[in-house]
Chains A and B, each alone.
Chain A
């Protein structure tokens, strides 16, 4: 049975903005990220990588590298343990260890540019990297597939020979199609015949990267007992432990993962890359081994989000009711199966109540790095398509875009494209808040000569996951409480989790002292990702705090010489009513005061508690963004001159960090809309694999990003928290695209919508 909650209207701690608990360490440079780890005897590892996107490995000659002074070990796929062949759930995407092992160290073939072929351990980083370039590999180059159309051609070279594809339940072989799924409700074909207005288009997009500033890193030590210690910047220490257990064929109890501070993840640091290699190099050398990934390899070999094609056809009746929607979604999975076709289907129609829907999704293997989750994986791509189509439909019919969305808005019990029905959601509230926003009601203004302006809006949706979290609380004598958790703090979650415990306990947020600990020191906790951390680990902290109150009440009862059930707790104060019969008076004591007494004998020993949760959804999240753009008609240069992000956040525990998520997601979406893409060369392989040519927005490329926080608390959380982190990357693509349509009268259906494409379209 799913627990539901009614919510208070006022809180003491929730909604305030305390300084984050790890803040001082992070602004002084003291915080230890994965790259900062130092150990006695530490040596370095580096990888030899394939220059080809698709090739057979004919031979590997390590002799020249072995001779280099300072080289201590070299490994290839022969040193990788044999893994099982099954799907493993990593929290935001599944992986098959057999595919993964091959992905991390190529066996017979290289499947993407940068695919590791060998690894070197040496006394320092320079020698390791230098030696890695001296390993000679002979390749037989094969045709590389850069996109879904190429990979699905009848005569296409097959990338994974042993792939068993699944075409609507039917097993297929000799294919690059890993999966085809279908979702269908109502009568789509009939509904189209009843539609007065129809809009149909195909939208294309390239792979884009999460773009975290910190490269992947790992430090590993394999000891004499075959126990492995790992220090890594990861979004999930337990998930990494599971992955490593499968890849190294060791029981999880033999692996201890310490999550270091992390320099950004956005989903991309859920999979492991360097950890198993560092571990095997450590096994061979007997030394702790550190590896830092070079920036080109971060782009070329770690998961971007899928590029692909989304075909959408929608139909509305003459009253403005959206009655039917059909779509086909092809996503590039990269070199292994598993692009985010399920979430795409879950998200594409989510902001709308549509009776007749059909979705076909296709997971396609290409010679590119295996995709990894990137902030609402699959949702931004389909939002771009759907919201562009809705925009154009409204234009065609002469309907107001906000009114149309309001009258077709999804609500409680609306059925999603995959059949799941919503509980309480905030779609309508978000639309209303957008309508009332300062931005929407402000003039677009006029540009100087030669430039034009436009405004666009777009919905965005993510379902937000729940999953498992554990929290331990311990009371200190000074009335503070230590909070032990396993959720990597990527964006200030230590604060929001502590605040939820503090609210229950009636103490200030500063009096909860959080620690993010390793896999030996706290119970199982799923990834920091999926917009789940404030929700699920916060829920676990809430539960632990309530359990702590139970324990504290026992101490109070002993202290007051009363029964447990006589003790009340409210707003940080324990009390007992007078017991007239036994001549016992009313008594009160604060949390802090009773804490001071816990060392005393006779009070029942140290006070601690546990919270452990396994939750369903973190409450569906809806957002809507408004983008104003200005375009130079002669050059195609596009600037975002004003931007507002509206979002239903359920309940903002720490508003600054909620705003931060909205602004950060918006910035990534704007970069994706205007300039970011994997630029492939014909033979396969990304050519713009640096921050110079993979063009993420700089501070000079963005305006201030206004945020409007709507709060429709979800009954699924004690404080109404909805996941917030992923929704905000979904609207910007179409918001910018619709703004360009408004400015230029041109529909761009291919991302990124960069100046060259704009000039070409204007010229036509």
Chain B
């Protein structure tokens, strides 16, 4: 389980960039996040959030990706 002190991607403010530390869980969604390029060490910028607050728009590896906050919460990040 994710330790409480590690910040997760859903807490990153819009416009900020963080570095992926880990994707928690080995279910299909967790694997898909890795396959889409959210691998440890990669920088991710939170570009925007949808008007109702969810989902998020990310920039990773030079393209735009949208994921829901619930899934972003599984991506542990560190500031960079």
- A, B in one complex: no
A-contacting residues of B (Cβ < 8 Å)?
none
A interface list, Cβ under 8 A from B: none
